[in-house]
A and B are shown apart, each in its own frame.
Chain A
Amino acid sequence: MIVAMLESATDDQIQNVTDHLVNLGFAVHRTTGERQSILAAVGAIAGFDIREVELLPGVQQVHRISSPYKLAGRSFRPDGTVVKLPKGVEVGSNAVVVMAGPCSVESREQIMLSAEQVSKAGAKVLRGGAFKPRSSPYSFQGMGLDGLKLLRDAGEKYNLLIISEVMEMSQIELMEPYVDILQVGARNMQNFNLLRELGRVRKPILLKRGIAATIEELLLSAEYIMAGGNYDVIVCERGIRTFETYTRNTMDISAIPIVHKLSHLPIAGDPSHGTGRRDKVPPMARASVAAGADALLIEVHPTPEKALSDGAQSLFPEQFERLMEEIRMIAPAVGRSIA
Chain B
Amino acid sequence: MPIPDLRKKIDEIDRKLVTLLNERARAAHAIGVLKRNTQMPIYEPDRERVIHDNVAQNNSGPLQNHELRQIFERIVDVMREIQKKEIAPVEHPGGPTELEEND
Residues of A within 8 A of B (CB): 1, 15, 18-19, 22, 26-27, 29-34, 40-46, 64-67, 70, 73-75, 261-262
Q: Contacts of B81 on A, CB cut-off 8 Å?
A: 27
Closest to A40 in B: B99
Within 8 A of A (CB), among B71-91: 73-74, 77, 80-81, 84
A56 to B100 alpha-carbon distance, docked (Å)? 25
Contact at A75–B96, with CB atoms within 8 Å? yes
Q: A42-B97, A66-B98, A66-B102 are in contact. Are A32 and B66 (CB under 8 A)?
A: yes
Closest to B102 in A: A67
Contact at B45–A19, with CB atoms within 8 Å? yes
Contact at B77–A29, with CB atoms within 8 Å? yes
Q: Contacts of A32 on B, CB cut-off 8 Å?
A: 66, 69-70, 73
A12 to B70 alpha-carbon distance, docked (Å)? 18
Q: Contacts of B100 on A, CB cut-off 8 Å?
A: 65-66, 75
Q: Please indicate which of the listed interface residues B80, B81, B92, B99 has the most CB atoms of chain A within 10 Å of its own CB.
A: B99
Q: Contacts of B80 on A, CB cut-off 8 Å?
A: 27
Closest to A261 in B: B103
Contact at A262–B102, with CB atoms within 8 Å? yes
Closest to A18 in B: B45
Closest to B93 in A: A44
Chain B interface SS verdict (over half): loop
Contact at B73–A43, with CB atoms within 8 Å? no
Closest to B92 in A: A43
Could you list 15 A-B pairs, sorted by A, with CB under 8 Å? A1-B98, A15-B45, A19-B45, A30-B73, A31-B73, A32-B70, A32-B73, A44-B94, A44-B95, A64-B98, A66-B101, A67-B102, A70-B96, A73-B102, A75-B102
Which residue in B66, B74, B94 is a CB contact (below 8 Å) of A33?
A: B66
Contact at B73–A29, with CB atoms within 8 Å? yes
Q: Contacts of B70 on A, CB cut-off 8 Å?
A: 31-33
A13 to B1 alpha-carbon distance, docked (Å)? 46
Q: A44-B94, A66-B96, A75-B96 are in contact. Are A22 and B43 (CB under 8 A)?
A: yes
The tally of residues in B whose CB lies under 8 Å from a CB in A reads 22
A113 to B81 alpha-carbon distance, docked (Å)? 69
Q: A15-B45, A19-B45, A29-B73 are in contact. Are A34 and B66 (CB under 8 A)?
A: yes
Q: Contacts of B84 on A, CB cut-off 8 Å?
A: 27
A18 to B80 alpha-carbon distance, docked (Å)? 14
Contact at A26–B66, with CB atoms within 8 Å? no
List 7 A-B pairs, minimum CB-CB distance, nearest first: A44-B94, A67-B102, A70-B95, A1-B98, A29-B77, A42-B97, A42-B98
Contact at A44–B98, with CB atoms within 8 Å? yes
A261 to B103 alpha-carbon distance, docked (Å)? 8
Closest to A71 in B: B95
Q: A30-B73, A32-B70 are in contact. Are A44 and B97 (CB under 8 A)?
A: yes
A88 to B26 alpha-carbon distance, docked (Å)? 60
In the assembled complex, how far is the CB of residue B6 from the closest CB belonging to chain A, in whole angstroms? 26
A330 to B96 alpha-carbon distance, docked (Å)? 38
Which residue in A18, A34, A43 is a CB contact (below 8 Å) of B97?
A: A43
Closest to B84 in A: A27
A249 to B41 alpha-carbon distance, docked (Å)? 57
Q: Contacts of A74 on B, CB cut-off 8 Å?
A: 102
A40 to B97 alpha-carbon distance, docked (Å)? 11
Which residue in B43, B45, B74, B96 is a CB contact (below 8 Å) of A44?
A: B96
Q: In the complex, given contacts A44-B98, A261-B103, what are 20 additional A-B residue pairs having Cβ atoms less than 8 angstroms apart?
A: A22-B43, A29-B73, A29-B74, A31-B70, A32-B66, A43-B92, A43-B97, A43-B98, A44-B96, A64-B98, A65-B101, A65-B102, A66-B100, A66-B101, A67-B102, A70-B95, A70-B96, A73-B102, A74-B102, A75-B102
